[in-house]
Amino acid sequence: MKKPLIVIIGIISLFVGQACDQQQSTTDQDSPMLSSHTEQAEGNEAGEASAGPDSEQNEEPGIEVVTDPQSVAVLVNEEYALMDGYEPDDLVYPDIPFIFEEKVEKRLMRQEAADAVEQLFAAAKDDGMTLLGVSAYRSYQTQKSLFDYYVAQDGEELARTYSAVPGTSEHQTGLAIDVVGEDLSCAVEDCFADTVEAKWLEENAADYGFIIRYMEGKEELTGFKYEPWHLRYVGVEMAQEITKLGVTLEEYMNAVPVSDQTPIEN
Ligand SMILES: [Zn+2]
């Protein structure tokens, strides 16, 4: 039950966006979470949305590299990783409120997802509620710094049980965003599911191209804990289909279940 505290600390200390991946809070200004980015490898050419996970074998056994990371349908999880240093080439700042003011990395999303999230938030507003962004894009380097920090603290085996390995966080696609209601209640906590905002998202997110990515009871399939606050842009048509079917992106893509991993946070 660490999240409310983490969020409050985060607002003060500028790295709230890490909360979704954070087990221990820290306000250490020298934390690797604040380390600067390195040059990124160029991404693949944009591809069409494909019906299955395109990937090649990675050097690391069991993990495959996604070959079409620019597709809005890209599947990224513990089995399908983005190539080292992948960075989307169309990241922009969506015009939506976040729980922090700074114009920083975690505010970024890919252009198409940014346009969609603006419409999503506007529609919520029309229905009388204010959504806030908590954390959107997270670079490979940021995830790596986080992960390395946890490895140094707890060792790799334990770190892997609660933090995404660099390249396996959906936040690196620029298509994911964690959200919360205006009162910040249950931010990045399971009880967010009981808020009016979460109910509204369940009913409406798909119409704007978003799915609630990590479903309850599907942890074995996704490899991630239930996260009712984590929205993933896949485009309207696919989002509506996935939502109607009530399946995970893994099931929709007929991918190999991530069953040998302990569900983690993203
Ligand atoms: Zn998330």
Cα 93 versus chain centre, distance: 16
* 227 in any annotated domain: yes
> Alpha-carbon distance 53 to 79, whole Å?
10
Name the phi and psi angles at 241, rounded to 5.
-65, -45
> Alpha-carbon distance 109 to 72, whole Å?
12
Q: Is the pLDDT of residue 46 over 90?
A: no
> Alpha-carbon distance 241 to 222, whole Å?
18
Cα 72 versus chain centre, distance: 13
Ligand 1 center from residue 112 Cα (angstroms): 18
Kindly give the interhelix angle for 111-126 and 196-204, rounded to the nearest 10 degrees. 120
Q: How many domains does the chain have?
A: 1
* 55 in any annotated domain: no
- In which domain, by residue range, is 191 found? 3-28+64-252
Ligand 1 center from residue 68 Cα (angstroms): 21
**Over residues 83-110, mean pLDDT:** 96
Grade residue 49 by pLDDT with cuts at 50, 70 and 90: very low
CATH of the domain at 200: 3.30.1380.10
**Over residues 10-16, mean pLDDT:** 38
| Residues of the chain above pLDDT 90, percent | 61
Q: Is the pLDDT of residue 138 over 60?
A: yes
107: DSSP letter:
G
Ligand 1 center from residue 226 Cα (angstroms): 10
* 169 in any annotated domain: yes
Q: Is the pLDDT of residue 212 over 70?
A: yes
* 200 in any annotated domain: yes
Pick from 201, 202, 219, 205: nearest CA to 266? 219
**C-alpha dihedral sign at 57, 59, 63, 69:** negative
Ligand 1 center from residue 38 Cα (angstroms): 22
* 106 in any annotated domain: yes
* 48 in any annotated domain: no
- Residues serving a catalytic function are 227
Ligand 1 center from residue 171 Cα (angstroms): 6
* 34 in any annotated domain: no
* 88 in any annotated domain: yes
Residue 241's pLDDT is 94
Ligand 1 center from residue 196 Cα (angstroms): 19
Q: Is the pLDDT of residue 34 over 60?
A: no
Ligand 1 center from residue 19 Cα (angstroms): 9
Q: By mean pLDDT, which of 23-32, 67-76, 77-86, 183-192 is the weakest?
A: 23-32
pTM for this one? 0.76
Grade residue 59 by pLDDT with cuts at 50, 70 and 90: low
